[in-house]
């Protein structure tokens, strides 16, 4: 067992998924490199910007014919559909159309009309390909980072790491830490909220940074999947869950639904801390084990 | 899942070495060995001419701020370049590894300073810390990190890589290796 030896803790950072991904673990450089390779693969598969990615290919072709995709893409789509079903479409990866319209994502090459499809139109076929019943643009920006963090962490643990932190721009998973990581949020009054985490995942969202005025609405990067309107841009949300993909996706549901998302959080044994300018801090789903 | 949210009175916090959390990830030598294990590195620094700067800026669409290039030839083939980009507030040094065809092999961020929110940089806001809680366990900037999206920093690094790829085409491709 390597655990009897004092293992060297290494931390590295690389730019992926539109953010900076950092990985810290008690593991050799080759293991950290392997974990980054998982993140890089997911970046290449799920980029909305890259015309050769799985996401761009399905957005271009899947309404015409089934498109074969990598098993990771299939897994993320499957996961996204589960979150869509459980939230009655509040979490909907077909919001690519709105994000393009609001200028938060680039218009896909050659695209003309805005597609009208929703998550209901996405079919994952038994042969591992994807088919859309109507044209639609999926954007995995609300779930791919969390998924990548989970894959990187799995890789680290499979290679023998015992203490690890993977952070993709605030989507964070930690394992086996003796000293917790401490995170602060920017919403500060006379006290500073500090989250201590030693095991599990956290994701957080705040619409402030990317919001802009479109058609008289203040639009943050979060869209209510059913109402097709921006979620409250002043809200700050932080979700804790075992898996980072759940924390990441649930953040969007809580951002859109606020305290109404308590039931969904409970199903994932997750909890959320929410800050609204008027009501201050609120903890949703307090009955954690 | 093991976590808790605590509310720390600001008066109980101490500022550790400035308002930012600085992480040194890799030294230049460590980055070299991560990207090209076992290789040896020969410095091959260059200074860009005005004409080269113009071509690089046109090709990459990214302004060239520094004409001095820190470049190493790699014994096993390829190039290793250390450069920096301007992040939200500060410089972010990074290393780029290119294979012998000039394709990106790896990008490693060498050092990263996370800026805190505007209210923490604001001198009025910071004044409340001065002279308080010298023995506080929690230190802003040392063991409390800001939740940060880092979207902008990431974009600047991507731009920096584009600029260096254009630099490779203009300065290094002909040199062959």
Which of A132, A150, A169 represents a domain boundary (last residue)?
A: A132
Of A186, A190, A195, the CB nearest to B3: A195
Mean pLDDT over B136-150 rounds to 53
Separation CA A108–CA A122 (nearest Å)? 19
Asked if residue A235 belongs to a domain, the reply is: yes
CB proximity B81 to A under 8 Å: no
Q: What is the CATH number of the domain that holds A243?
A: 3.10.520.10
Cβ partners under 8 Å of residue B123, min gap 6: none
pLDDT at residue B40 above 50? yes
Chain-chain contact of A19 with B149 (C-beta, under 8 angstroms): yes
Look at the block and give the residue holding tokens 């990074």: B94
Asked if residue A25 belongs to a domain, the reply is: no
Number of domains in chain A: 2
Query: 3-state class of B57 per DSSP?
Result: helix
pLDDT score, position B136 = 41
Query: Quick one: three-class SS letters along A111-155?
Result: CCCCCCCCHHHEEECCCCEEEECCCCCCCCCCCHHHHHHHHHHHH
CB proximity A18 to B under 8 Å: yes
The series of mean pLDDT values per 10 residues for chain A, 289 residues long, is 52 92 94 97 94 94 96 97 94 87 81 84 96 94 95 97 93 91 66 83 73 49 63 82 96 91 93 86 70
Q: Which residues of A touch B90 (CB under 8 A)?
A: none
Q: Do A213 and A123 share a structural domain?
A: no
CA distance A142 to chain B (A): 13
Which of A143, A120, A139, A141 shows the shortest CA–CA distance to A58?
Answer: A139
pLDDT at residue B135 above 80? no
Which of A104, A132, A160 represents a domain boundary (last residue)?
A: A132
Asked if residue A288 belongs to a domain, the reply is: no
Contact (CB, 8 A) for A78 and A124: yes
Q: Express each pLDDT in B89-127 by its tens digit.
A: 678 999 999 999 999 999 999 998 765 443 344 444 444
Q: Express each pLDDT in B15-39 by its tens digit.
A: 444 445 578 899 999 999 999 999 9
Chain A to chain B Cβ contacts (< 8 Å) = 135
Q: Do A202 and A277 share a structural domain?
A: yes
Q: Express each pLDDT in B53-99 by its tens digit.
A: 999 999 999 999 899 999 999 999 999 999 999 876 678 999 999 99
Cβ partners under 8 Å of residue A204, min gap 6: A170, A185, A236, A237, A238, A239, A251, B147
CB proximity B148 to A under 8 Å: yes
Backbone angles phi, psi at A65, to 5 degrees: -155, 155
Chain-chain contact of B6 with A169 (C-beta, under 8 angstroms): no
pLDDT score, position B72 = 98
Contact (CB, 8 A) for A194 and B13: no
pLDDT score, position A169 = 86
Instruction: Show which of residues 14-53 on chain B sit within 8 Å of chain A, judged by CB atoms.
Output: 23, 25-26, 33-34
Cβ partners under 8 Å of residue A249, min gap 6: A79, A80, A83, A91, A142, A143, A146
Mean pLDDT over B143-155 rounds to 67
pLDDT score, position A71 = 97
Asked if residue A197 belongs to a domain, the reply is: yes
Q: Which residues of A touch B146 (CB under 8 A)?
A: 183-186
Of A22, A200, A204, the CB nearest to B2: A200
CA distance B9 to chain A (A): 4
Of B3, B146, B154, the CB nearest to A197: B3
Maximal C-alpha separation, chain B:
60
Chain-chain contact of A241 with B150 (C-beta, under 8 angstroms): no
Contact (CB, 8 A) for B130 and A221: no
Look at the block and give the residue holding tokens 């290094």: B172
pLDDT score, position B174 = 73
pLDDT score, position A212 = 47
Q: What is the CATH number of the domain that holds A88?
A: 1.10.3980.10
Chain centroid to CA A260: 20
First to last CA, chain A: 32
Q: Do A185 and A125 share a structural domain?
A: no
Please compute, for residue A273, the number of CA atoms within 13 A of its CA located in the half-sphere on the CB side. 20
Domain that includes residue A58, residue range: 54-132
Q: Do A187 and A126 share a structural domain?
A: no
CB proximity A240 to B under 8 Å: yes
DSSP B174: G
Q: Which residue of B has its CA nearest to A28?
A: B34
């Amino acid at each position: 067992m390597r655990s009897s030896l004092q293992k060297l803790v290494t931390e590295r950072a690389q730019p992926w998924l539109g953010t900076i991904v950092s990985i810290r673990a008690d593991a050799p450089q080759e293991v950290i490199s392997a974990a980054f390779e998982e993140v890089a693969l997911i970046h290449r598969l799920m980029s909305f910007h890259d015309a050769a990615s799985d996401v761009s290919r399905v957005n271009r072709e899947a309404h015409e014919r089934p498109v074969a995709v990598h098993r990771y893409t299939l897994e993320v789509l499957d996961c996204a559909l589960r979150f869509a079903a459980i939230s009655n479409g509040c979490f909907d990866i077909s919001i690519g159309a709105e994000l393009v319209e609001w200028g938060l994502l680039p218009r896909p090459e050659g695209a003309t009309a805005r597609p009208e499809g929703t998550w209901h139109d996405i079919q994952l076929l038994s042969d591992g390909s994807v088919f859309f019943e109507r044209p639609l643009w999926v954007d995995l920006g609300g779930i791919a980072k969390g998924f990548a963090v989970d894959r990187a962490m799995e890789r680290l643990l499979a290679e023998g790491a015992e203490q690890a932190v993977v952070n993709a721009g605030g989507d964070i998973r930690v394992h086996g830490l003796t000293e917790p990581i401490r995170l602060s949020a920017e919403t500060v009054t006379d006290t500073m909220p500090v989250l201590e985490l030693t095991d599990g995942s956290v994701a957080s969202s705040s619409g402030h940074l990317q919001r802009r005025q479109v058609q008289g609405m203040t639009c943050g990067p979060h869209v209510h999947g059913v109402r097709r309107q921006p979620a409250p841009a002043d809200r700050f949300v932080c979700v804790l869950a075992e898996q980072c993909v759940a924390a990441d996706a649930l953040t969007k549901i809580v951002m859109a639904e606020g305290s109404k998302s308590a039931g969904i959080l409970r199903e994932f044994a997750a909890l959320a801390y929410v800050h609204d300018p008027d009501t201050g801090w609120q903890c949703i789903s307090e009955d954690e084990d | 899942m093991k976590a808790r949210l605590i509310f720390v009175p600001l008066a109980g916090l101490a500022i550790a070495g400035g308002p930012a959390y600085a992480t040194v990830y890799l030294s230049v030598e460590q980055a070299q060995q991560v990207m090209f294990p076992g290789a040896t590195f020969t410095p091959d620094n260059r200074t860009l001419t005005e004409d080269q700067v113009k071509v690089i800026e046109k090709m990459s669409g990214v302004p060239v701020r520094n004409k001095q290039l820190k470049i190493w030839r790699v014994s096993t083939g390829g190039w290793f370049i250390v450069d920096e980009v301007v992040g939200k507030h500060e410089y972010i040094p990074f290393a780029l590894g290119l294979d012998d065809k000039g394709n990106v092999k790896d990008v490693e961020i060498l050092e990263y300073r996370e800026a805190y929110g505007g209210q923490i940089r604001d001198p009025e806001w910071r004044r409340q810390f001065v002279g308080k809680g010298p023995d506080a366990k929690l230190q802003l900037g040392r063991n409390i990190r800001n939740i940060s999206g880092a979207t902008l920093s990431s974009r600047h690094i991507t731009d920096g890589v584009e600029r260096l790829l254009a630099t490779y085409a203009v300065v290094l491709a002909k040199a062959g290796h």
